[in-house]
Amino acid sequence: ALNGTEEKKFKRFESYKRDGQLPTSVKDLAIHVDRKNFTILLPIMGRPVPFHINTIKNASTTSEGDFIALRINFLSPGQGVGRKDDQPFEDPTAHFIRSLTFRSRDVDRIEDIAKSITELKKDVVRREQEKKQMED
Amino acid sequence: MESFEGIYLNLSKQPGRTRIAEAGLAWKPPGTGETFTLDSSQLVQAQWSRAARGYEVKILSRSDGVVQLDGFQQEDFERISKVFKSWYSINLENREHALRGWNWGKAEFGKAELSFNVQSRPAFEIPYTEISNTNLAGKNEVSVDFSLPANGEETGTNGHLGGSRKNGRKSGAARDQLVEMRFYIPGTVTKKEKKEDGED
């Protein structure tokens, strides 16, 4: 590292290589957390769309009457306002999905999903830090 | 005539039976419900892909927009592609979707759908009929809102067609319904705004 100012490098990641690797649970058209593959599966127009935990910034819920809303914010360029924006991107000129919001009547299940996403994110960040400490 | 059981029409809650004949396609809900039909002259394009519920035949129709039939088996591809070619002169395009789990790619506007492509493969597609509103939500940020029934109970086809959804209501049948999507689209705006010495 150069005076500790070395630029963070983008590390590639991949959720799945083949559709046969998708969990069979996706057929219920609901949101799933696949901890084994560090991936959140989101139902978009009948398709299970994977998002690797590394793309996710955070997840939060809001109560809306009989419904609960789950908002997932993703990492994208131009978000580091006020603090250092040193998040590396493979292609900062690409289009990014910045957030996805779902609503559901399954309040408990959605709250569990939000919690699992937050925990998985924490685990991954912690592991990264441990790895870095080992390298130093 | 080719017949398939366990097929969902436009993300319907219940599966029904699909029949493919020279004159067109039909989908019959379980029980005594009304049958959905699509005349062969309506078919413009067809795509085969892996969906959440089995494999999907997605049809672009002239007047009904995008029609989704989900729940086919992998081995049905040959039967269906054969009859689509001979009866409708339509190539059933086998499309593999992106599974990398990336949130960056390219939002592209096709004939009937917005497609988000990751390394030239679609991660997902959204028929324009499902979009209720779009906004410039911020600098380089575009929000897309989806049409949903207000109370989440309305079936879209008033209980006909096995609770399948009309165009503009497709995700309303799901347990978890997509409400809003926001994109970050980099453009020239940021660069201009960064010129703080008033060159403009």
Is B200 a member of any domain? Answer: no
* CATH, residue B95: 2.30.29.30
Strand, coil or helix: A136: coil
Is A13 a member of any domain? Answer: no
Residue B198 has what pLDDT? 45
ipTM of the complex: 0.90
Q: In b/e form, how buried is each residue of B160-188, taking b as 16+ CB within 10 angstroms?
A: ebbbbbbbbbbbbbbbbbbbbbbbbbbee
Candidate from B97, B126, B185 with C-beta closest to A95: B185
CA distance A120 to chain B (A): 15
Is A6 a member of any domain? Answer: no
Interface check A92 vs B, CB under 8 A? yes
Is B72 a member of any domain? Answer: yes
CA distance B199 to chain A (A): 22
Q: Which residues contact B103 (CB under 8 A, 6 or more apart)?
A: A51, A55, A74, A75, A76, A96, A97
Is A9 a member of any domain? Answer: no
Is B16 a member of any domain? Answer: yes
Is A7 a member of any domain? Answer: no
Is A3 a member of any domain? Answer: no
| Model confidence at B87: pLDDT above 70 | yes
Mean pLDDT, rounded, for B114-130:
95
CA distance A20 to chain B (A): 9
Measured between CA atoms, the residue of chain A closest to residue B131 is A45
Is B199 a member of any domain? Answer: no
Instruction: Give the closest residue to B178 by CA, choosing from B21, B52, B86, B1.
Output: B52
Is A58 a member of any domain? Answer: yes
Domain that holds residue B181: 2-194
Residue B154 has what pLDDT? 45
Is A17 a member of any domain? Answer: no
How does the average pLDDT of chain B come out, rounded?
A: 86
Instruction: Let me know: does A55 contact B140? Beta carbons within 8 Å.
Output: no
Domain tally for chain B?
A: 1
**Contact across the interface for A43 and B182, Cβ inside 8 Å:** no
* CATH, residue A73: 2.30.29.210
Domain tally for chain A?
A: 1
Confidence of residue A9 (pLDDT cuts 50, 70, 90): confident
| Model confidence at B195: pLDDT above 50 | no
| Pairs across A and B, CB distance < 8 A | 167
| Model confidence at A48: pLDDT above 60 | yes
B contact test, residue of A98, A100, A121, A124 with most B CBs within 10 A: A98
- List pLDDT tens digits, range B142-169: 999 998 765 554 444 545 555 555 555 6
